[in-house]
Structure 1
Amino acid sequence: MSFETKSLPARHDVVAPDGSEVRILLQRPGGSMAHFRLAPGEVATAIVHRTIEEIWYVLAGAGEMWRRHGEREEVVPLSPGTCLTIPVGTRFQFRATADAPLDAIGITMPPWPGDGEAVAVDGPWTPTVPR
């Protein structure tokens, strides 16, 4: 078994299907971790994942997260210390307040499989970021 260590990259590696900046961290066979950033005042594109689930932990900034799965639907406030789950098949969308970027760590289980995993869906807010 090998150990891995990585510092948060200064620049993002990719743009997520929802439009947020992604800094890829580490991965193991059961899951992967990434840092997500949405600029102040921006609204991500609403998406649904085909095969993965996620756990998010908000590090900085503020905003809201909309989630809908079947008949259950809610909007929760996001602030540092908020932790939430996104089960497989959950439609979700998030937005940042105008004050500061919204920064979160996301754990993806299993690891992110690549293109085609996220599908754009209708959400409660009009996206402001390019897909």
Structure 2
Amino acid sequence: MSSQSGQQQPFDTADVGDAPVVTAPDGAEVYPLLVLEGQGSLAVFALAPGQVTRAVSHATVQELWQVTAGGGELWRRQGGREETVRLAPGTAVSIPLGTAFQFRADGDAGEPLRITAVTMPPWPGTNDEARPEEGPWKATVR
């Protein structure tokens, strides 16, 4: 079956244990997994217990997250609305384009907060994609 552009994309398989570890602009660890060119990318984010990311917004991408381990909170602000939601295994959230967000991992969880995320379109890898924002918590990541 061909993609929308008429060209076939390769089948890819990835294991998070084999993925490189990079640091996201917000300070979380990221394990990049798969990319469908022009469509989206898949990665796992990890944040150590008690850690708080920097607040950011994205210039060109939006994301869907599902928490797979640990616990914490996510703050989101878009226009005149904002909310803070609890993150626990099974929780899924959206980060629409331009939404300011920040997240933190529970300090007593004993395990990192782990999130599997789809980024649409794929993460561009540019330094200006994540824009600094004012969030509700003081960041603790480097």
Q: TM-score range by the shorter chain?
A: over 0.9
- How far is 1:10 from its partner? 5.3
TM-score by length of 1: 0.95
The Cα shift of 1:104 comes to 0.3
CA contact (8 A) 2:19 2:33 kept: no
Does residue 1:86 correspond to 2:114, yes or no? no
Task: Deviation per CA, 1:58-86: give whole Å up to 9, x if none.
Answer: 00000000000001100000000000000
User: Number of residue pairs matched?
Assistant: 130
Which of 106, 118, 130 is matched with 2:117 structurally?
Answer: 106
Task: Give the alignment partner of residue 26 of structure 1, picking from 19, 34, 37.
Answer: 34
Q: Which segments of 5 or more consecutive residues in structure 2 lack a partner in the other structure? A: 1-7
CA contact under 8 A between 1:12 and 1:21: conserved in structure 2?
no
Matched position secondary structure for 1:9: helix
Query: In 2 relative to 1, CA 90–58 (structure 1 residues): closer, same or farther, beyond 3 Å?
Result: same
Alignment-mate amino acid for residue 5 of structure 1: T
Paired with 1:19 and 1:56, the residues of 2 have a C-alpha distance of: 17
Q: Secondary structure at the match of 2:16?
A: coil
- Structure 1: gaps (5+ residues): none
Whole-Å separation in 1 of the counterparts to 2:20 and 2:65: 18
**2 CA distance for matches of 1:106 and 1:57?**
6
Q: Which has the larger radius of gyration?
A: 2
1:127 aligns with 2:111: no
Q: Would you say the 8 A contact 1:52–1:112 is kept in 2?
A: yes
Q: Which residue of 2 aligns with 1:4?
A: 12
Question: For the Cα contact (< 8 Å) 2:19–2:32, is it kept in 1?
Answer: no
Q: CA separation in 2, counterparts of 1:28 and 1:126?
A: 35
Alignment RMSD (CA, Å) = 1.1
Is it true that 1:74 corresponds to 2:74 in the alignment? no
Distance 1:21 1:116 in 2: 18
- The Cα of 1:9 is off from its aligned counterpart by 2.6
Cα deviation 1:26-56 (Å, max 9, x = unaligned): 0002000000000000000000000110000
Give the whole-Å Cα distance in 2 for the aligned partners of 1:77 and 1:52. 23
